[in-house]
Amino acid sequence: MSNISVLFVCLGNICRSPTAHAVFQALVEDSGLSEHIEVDSAGTGDWHIGHAPDQRTCAVAAEHGYDMSSLRARLVDADDFDQFDYILAMDHDNLANLKAICPADYAGSLGLMLDYTVAETFAEMDEVPDPYYGGDDGFSLVLELVEDACAGLLEHIRSRL
């Protein structure tokens, strides 16, 4: 069985991408694939490097059984394209930022997180909205979207393993 690596990317790496990181890591562990799938997250902006995820993000995640206590924000860089098979942005702006630094010979999959959505409820959405400046309900929506897309991503990866 080959190894697969996945990087989730948002702007500051304190809300959306760490949520995806925690959710996908839990799914990978629950499926017994921890030895075969590496998970990480990063941001395209450098404002929060070294910081823990947003408290509201952590609270919503904890309510659903996800632990984000070990996660710290980091900046995505060109070396990530050498390390990760899947690099998934939460929105079009971050995808554009990733494409700007993506080496021409990158052989992995660069796309949007919600490309892996499976629920009909979210079929019309293509971006995970940034909840940072909104209310608490935005963090719950992010978790719902990410849980759904992570399930679809894991099924996709399993079909390749």
Whether 87 contacts 98, CB under 8 Å: yes
Annotated catalytic residue, options 10, 15, 58, 150 = 10
Q: Catalytic annotation on 158? A: no
Of 15, 16, 56, 74, which residue is the catalytic one?
A: 16
Measured CA to CA, the distance from residue 127 to residue 17 in angstroms comes to: 12
Rg over alpha carbons for the chain, rounded to the nearest Å, is: 14
Query: Of the residues 54, 80, 91, 130, which is catalytic?
Result: 130
C-beta atoms surrounding 106 within 10 Å? 17
Catalytic residue flag (residue 150): no
Cβ-contact 68, 61 below 8 angstroms: yes
User: Is 56 an active-site residue?
Assistant: no
Active site residues: 10, 16, 130
